[in-house]
Structure 1
Amino acid sequence: MRISRLGGSIAALGTAAVLAACSSGTPASTGTPAANAGPVTLEFWCWGSAQKANVEAFNKAHPNIQVKHTDVGGGTDTATKLLTANRAGNGPDAACMEYETLPSMIVAGALADISAYTGDVKDAFSPEVWDLTSFDGAVYGVPQDVGPMVLVYNKKRFQELKIEPPATWQDFAKVAADVRKKDPEAYLATFAPSEFGNFAGLAQQAGASWWKVQDQTWTVGIADQASLEVADFWQGLIDKDLVKAEPLLTPEWNNKLNKGKILTWPAALWAPGVLYGIAEKQAGDWAIAPLPQWKEGDDRVAFQGGSALTVTKASKHPEAAATFAKWMETNKTAYDVQISLGEYPASLAGQQAASSSPPPKLTANQKDYWDIATKAAQRTIPHISWGPNVNTAKSAYQDAVSAAIKNRTPLRDALTKTHNLVVEDMKTTGFKVAGP
């Protein structure tokens, strides 16, 4: 990949498919094992409770590569701080990075191509998952976890209200109305204005494509027909008071959840772990179901979230850092820790191990949990592309949608505003963008 800069700005990308997730990388070679190169110390930035135990296990198994772990915040914080550190020339050797953020970090020149060191682990992942970190023949990370979307629901409350998990989004609207009639204090779901990734996943499930690039020309589709139809769907539920438009995971929201007044969360497989952290007393009361379908019979879903372990351009030991990344994402010790904490590993072996493990504590009584989870992972939509200015899009979306909820203006107008701001930002930065 070749990326040029104009006056400190990122210019147009040098190849047609440089950021299209459908372009899988072809590693050059596996290289010489870094552990033979002598003792090195690596700085590693990553969030999440699985990191500490895994780093300790890696260090014990690799006396010649010692890793120092620092949690500098979640995905957005890590990306922002890495860019700052990269400009100052003092970044870490390795860092976790959310899949949606990878393109912008590649464009910014913060990540190293590690294709020369990863050929031996490519087959440890499904092609769809490996493609999340592979762009135009280059590899910029080893997949860590994935988040195929499902419907997480309070099975106990569903049984009390005599309702069933909806198979389609049309059914979802009917069940939402039924919930309001049977328990006027309860809502089937929440529409959270700040959840950019969640809405993107639902739009992708409906057929949306928010970014595409061909022959160095980008097409932006944040306000494409599929996305607008998804916005209209949620608009109808909000206008009829069938879902609650409010932020997630606030003290107020957590209180409602604990009282059984929020009954579902359409989200990724990491969601049961999050909910258990705020509603431990409901352990065993919840379950997952397939995500409702926009078109009956089409069971494809998008990823919501997930991350990879990347090697930075600042690293003086890229081969050792790649060795660390590969171990962290393919070693049994590492993925067993992930599973125990409710994460769904990206590696095939990790997913197989998860399928024979107990379900997360929140859904402890669901015997078919991993059957549903595995099918969701197998039916994820391939070739989803993220653009070079996702952080701009996220901020614009959150501002526009929050204002729309507050002012009771159409969500579709908020999407259009977001689309226009993203296109304007890309053009200003130096990208060639097709259409308005």
Structure 2
Amino acid sequence: MRSRVFAATSALVAAGALLAGCSGGSSSGSEDEAADGPVTLEYWAWGTAQDPMVDAWNKAHPDIQVKHTDAGGGSDSSAKLLTATRADNAPDVAVVEYQTLPAMIVGDVAADITEYVDDDLKSSFTDATWGLTTFNDAIYGVPQDVGPMAFVYNQARLDELGVPVPTTWAEFKTAAAAVRAADPNAYLATFNTSEFGFFAGMAQQAGAQWWSVDGDQWTVGIDDEASQEVADYWQDLIDNDLIKVEDLLTPQWNQEVNAGQVLSWPSALWAPGVIYGVAEGMAGQWAMAPLPQWTPGDTAVAYQGGSAVVVTTSSKHPKEAAEFAAWINSTDEGAAIQLETGQYPASTLGQTKAETSAPPLLMPQQTDFWELASTIAADTIPNISWGPNVNVAQSAFQDAMAKAVQNGTPLREALTETQKVVVEDMKTTGFDVSE
């Protein structure tokens, strides 16, 4: 794979990007300590799969016991990890979202575990998935779950209105217009100005690379041509009242979904579980299809969501911690638990295992759901890079997009504003960023 998120660590230090006092002892004196009793690992992770996976590990590994703490998900957990690393009391192992992993490496939270990883573990994942945790040929985590993008839609309502399921984004616009013509109270989909991950996935599908690095020099492409074209596409749908600008999962949005007034959610493979949680009574009416394509015949999609398990630099048992991270994410036991608890595994083993599982509760009639999911997951875009300040980008994007919609200014200008904020932040932090 081509050069990813980071140059050498020494270059990052020179750039002033590492947090002061972050070098938690990664000493592996665990063998001597293990002689006095079981090694105990602290594990921070969120989600329903974690407790049963930890229980299964502890039962099978009496000499290495894991204590699980739910430290909150996403950005909350990452912020706590940074703070704990400064104090040299971070857990041994933690779940980190893919898009925030670069910041965890820059912040000296995630340890390089290359020496503990063998070819068998690497072969448990596709190149695109494994690449999400590999930077400059160094391995910083084991993938746990992934969210390949897909199209989740109200099949019953589209059939009722005589609107075919779109396979391209051009067809999506046609379908959106057909829905509005057939039922003025309904929209094919909504556009949420807060959905940074969704828009990034759309742009990546169109060929955008929002962050890249060559040696020590970074390039930021949040307002590149591909991203601007995506902004123009959604601008056109908004201007023509073909989609509705609205936040997701609000009481109003939930009510509209239940009333058959919002007929799809371009999102990811995890979406059926979310919709079932707010519209259980619609089970059997919804279905899943591949995400519409920008270029007909190009089936590759980006990830929207997903996470990896990292070993922290604070751990005094990095070898055992890496063994735990590998086991829960690449074995039959771990895959079975993930599927039982509604998590789509990152491992090819887990994805294959999913093909024989029952479809999601939202769409029990779609018996090929997991087979289709595996096909989608096998064709995700490789070499997706995230930068060291995704949190800054997300906040700037949400603010700029909301203002653009409120003020009636072009969405492409919101991307330009986001680009400006991200570049200025990186330069202030000490990164070399090309103009």
Q: Normalization by structure 2: what TM-score?
A: 0.92
Deviation for aligned residue 1:36: 8.2
For each residue in 1:243-262, what CA deviation from the matched residue of structure 2 results, as whole angstroms up to 9, or x when unmatched? 11111111111111111111
Shift of 1:401: 0.7
Q: Is the 8 A contact 2:17 2:106 kept in 1?
A: no
Number of matched pairs: 415
CA contact (8 A) 1:110 1:313 kept: yes
Q: Unaligned stretches of 5+ in structure 1?
A: 12-30
Once the two structures are TM-superposed, the CA of residue 8 in structure 1 deviates from its matched residue by 5.6
Q: Shift of residue 93 of structure 1?
A: 0.9
Matching residue of 2:106: 107
CA distance in 1, matches of 2:365, 2:345: 21
Equivalent residue runs for 1:36-435 within 5 Å = 38-119=37-118, 120-435=120-435
* SS of 1:305 mapped into structure 2: strand
Q: Is the 8 A contact 1:269 1:343 kept in 2?
A: no
Contact 2:126/2:378, CA 8 A, preserved across alignment: no
CA distance in 2 between counterparts of 1:402 and 1:69 reads 38
CA distance in 1, matches of 2:247, 2:255: 13
2:13 paired residue number? 5
Task: State the AA in 2 paired with 1:282.
Answer: M
In 2: Cα distance, 1:204 partner to 1:154 partner? 26
Separation in structure 1 between the aligned mates of residue 173 and residue 149 of structure 2, nearest angstrom: 18
CA gap 1:239/1:124 in 2 versus in 1, 3 angstroms: same
The amino acid that maps onto 1:137 is: D
Give the secondary structure class of the aligned counterpart of 1:218: strand
Cα shift readout 1:66-114 (whole Å, capped 9, x = no counterpart): 1111112111111111111111111111110111111111011111111
Contact kept in structure 2, 1:35 and 1:320, CA below 8 Å: no
CA contact (8 A) 2:15 2:429 kept: no
Per-residue CA deviations over 1:324-359 (Å, capped at 9, x if unaligned) read 111110121221121123322111111110012111
* Identical residues among aligned pairs (%): 58
Aligned residues of 1:144 and 1:308 also touching (Cα < 8 A): yes
Using the TM superposition, give the Cα deviation of residue 151 of structure 1 relative to its aligned residue in structure 2, in angstroms. Answer: 0.4
- Gaps of at least 5 residues in structure 2 are 1-7, 20-29
What is the rounded CA distance, in whole Å, between the counterparts of 1:420 and 1:245 in structure 2?
25
User: How far is 1:208 from its partner?
Assistant: 0.6
Contact preservation (8 Å) 2:153, 2:287: yes
After superposition, the Cα gap between the structure-2 partners of 1:397 and 1:186, relative to the gap in structure 1 and judged at 3 Å, is: same
Distance 1:135 1:118 in 2: 14
Structure-2 change in CA distance of 1:35 and 1:326 (3 Å): farther
CA distance in 2: counterparts of 1:277 and 1:336, whole angstroms: 22
Contact 2:16 2:429 in 1 (8 A): no
Deviations 1:283-322 (A, max 9, x none): 2211111111111111111111111011111111111111
Distance 1:36 1:245, change over 3 A: farther
Asked if the contact 1:122–1:130 (Cα under 8 Å) also holds between the matched residues in 2, the reply is yes
Change (3 A) 1:35 1:352: farther
Partner Cα distance (2:298, 2:36) in 1 = 51
Q: Check 1:40–1:261 CA distance in 2 against 1; reply closer, same or farther (3 A cut).
A: same
Return the alpha-carbon distance in structure 2 between the equivalents of residues 5 and 206 of structure 1: 34
Aligned equivalents of 2:399, 2:268: Cα separation in 1:
23
How far off its partner does 1:38 sit?
4.6
The equivalent of 2:5 in structure 1 is none
Q: Is the CA contact (8 Å cut-off) linking 1:44 and 1:95 kept in structure 2? A: yes
Structure-2 separation of matches of 1:55 and 1:36: 22
> Mean Cα displacement is larger for which, 272-281 or 220-229?
272-281
Map of 1:19 onto structure 2:
none
Task: Quote the Cα distance in structure 2 between the aligned partners of 1:128 and 1:306.
Answer: 13
| Offset at residue 5 of structure 1 (A) | 3.2
Q: Deviations over 1:86-143 (max 9, x none)?
A: 1111111111011111111101111111111121411111122111111112111110
In 2, Cα distance between equivalents of 1:193 and 1:37: 55
The Cα of 1:181 is off from its aligned counterpart by 1.4
Give me the CA root mean square deviation: 1.8
Query: Matched residues in 2 for 1:368 and 1:54: separation?
Result: 27
Secondary structure of the 1:248 match is coil
Q: State the distance in 2 between where 1:341 and 1:192 align.
A: 27
Counterpart for residue 23 of structure 1 = none
Aligned-partner SS, 1:325: helix
CA distance in 2 between partners of 1:37 and 1:363 (Å): 52
